[in-house]
């Protein structure tokens, strides 16, 4: 009796997982990509403090779905540090490709690669160098449970003064839970807990290592992902739990992020 309807039953079990595909971590990297022809608009606000220094940044990210597995986009920001250069940051171009996907009843696993290129544009708050980020990410999403893992490496070029900021490894492990499963037409909340690590090499100037640069920091980061139809809010706070910075550097006190997302 049920054999005739097994395809419809499987589709019905899979649809809740499809509706949750848009979920990605707040600070880490997830494998989410847009549907073909989709557009995502995502303004973002960041705040961080280390010792007496506090920085704020506003950013805007635009993403377009080339296919159901391949998205491209651009992002740019405006930095407002207490000390240092203030103004527009270098715009970045990025591409994310989901190369593996495994759909099961009520569950989806996927993996993707990311490439982001940030050329020197001469912006006031830019780095003055050509930088790039390469990343790999895995995600598991079900009606109740989520988990992600990602690894990224940022390579920083050399500026006109011979300064090369240290390359940085970014490591993320994330878990999430949806306390109350909901449908697409209902508000949906997922609570997140991230473990974010940053391992930074020393900066170099004209081939010489610079003291007081580089080191390791780890953060425990509670957050949430709230969605309603095609609108989402992501928010979280990074709390430092381990730091081993070189020289006289101030350890991070906190970092906070708020992201709004619209899918069109």
Domain containing 121: what range?
Answer: 3-263
The predicted pLDDT at position 19 comes to 40
Domain containing residue 204: CATH number:
2.40.160.40
Give per-residue pLDDT as tens, 120-146: 998 888 889 999 999 999 999 999 999
- End-to-end distance of the chain based on CA atoms, in angstroms? 40
Give me the percent of the chain exceeding a pLDDT of 90: 80
Question: How many separate domains does the chain show?
Answer: 1
**What whole-number distance in Å separates Cα of residue 61 and Cα of residue 44?**
8
The DSSP H or E segment spanning 87 is strand 87-88
CB atoms within 10 A of CB 210: 16
SS3 state of residue 15: helix
What pLDDT is stored for residue 160 in this prediction?
92
Average pLDDT over residues 163-178: 97
Q: Give the bridge partners for 141, in sequence order.
A: 108, 146
pTM, entire model: 0.89
What's the pLDDT tens digit per position in 54-94? 899 999 999 999 999 999 999 999 988 766 667 899 999 99
pLDDT at 10 over 60: no
pLDDT of res. 7: 42
Looking at residue 125, its pLDDT comes to: 83
- Give the pLDDT score at 81: 73
Task: pLDDT band for 23, please (50, 70, 90 cuts).
Answer: confident
Q: What is the mean pLDDT of residues 30-48?
A: 96
pLDDT digits (tens, 9 = 90+) for 172-225: 999 999 999 887 789 999 999 999 999 999 999 988 999 999 999 999 999 999
The pLDDT assigned to 18 comes to 39
Return phi, psi of residue 143, to 5°: -65, -30
Give me the chain's average pLDDT, please: 90
* Residues whose CB is less than 8 angstroms from the CB of residue 148 and which lie 6 or more positions away in sequence, other chains included: 24, 25, 28, 29, 30, 31, 137, 138, 139, 140, 172, 173, 174, 176
The whole-number pLDDT of residue 183 equals 78
Pair type for strands 70-79 and 168-177: unpaired
Instruction: Give CA–CA dist 236/195, Å, rounded.
Output: 12
């Amino acid at each position: 009796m049920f054999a005739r309807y097994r395809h419809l039953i499987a589709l019905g079990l899979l649809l809740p997982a499809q509706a949750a595909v848009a979920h990605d971590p707040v600070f880490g990297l997830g494998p989410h990509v847009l549907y073909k022809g989709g557009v995502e608009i995502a303004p973002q606000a960041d705040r961080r403090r280390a010792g007496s220094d506090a920085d704020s940044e506003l950013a805007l990210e635009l993403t377009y779905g080339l296919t159901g597995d391949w998205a491209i986009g651009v992002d740019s920001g405006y930095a407002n540090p207490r000390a240092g250069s203030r103004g527009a940051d270098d715009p970045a171009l990025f591409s994310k490709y989901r190369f593996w996907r495994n759909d099961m009843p009520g569950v989806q696993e996927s993996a993707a690669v990311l490439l982001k290129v940030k050329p020197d544009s001469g912006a006031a708050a830019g780095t003055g160098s050509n930088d790039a980020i390469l990343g790999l990410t895995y995600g598991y999403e079900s009606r109740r449970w989520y988990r992600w893992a990602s690894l990224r490496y940022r390579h920083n070029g050399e500026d006109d003064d011979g300064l090369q900021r240290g390359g940085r490894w970014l490591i993320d492990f994330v878990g999430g839970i949806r306390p109350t499963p909901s449908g697409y037409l209902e508000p949906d909340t997922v609570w997140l807990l991230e473990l974010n690590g940053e391992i930074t090499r020393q900066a170099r100037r004209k081939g010489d290592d610079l003291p007081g640069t580089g080191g390791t920091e780890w953060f425990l980061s509670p957050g949430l992902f709230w969605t309603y139809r095609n609108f989402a809010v992501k928010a979280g706070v990074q709390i430092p739990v381990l730091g081993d910075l070189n020289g006289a550097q101030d350890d991070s006190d906190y970092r906070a992020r708020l992201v709004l997302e619209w899918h069109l």
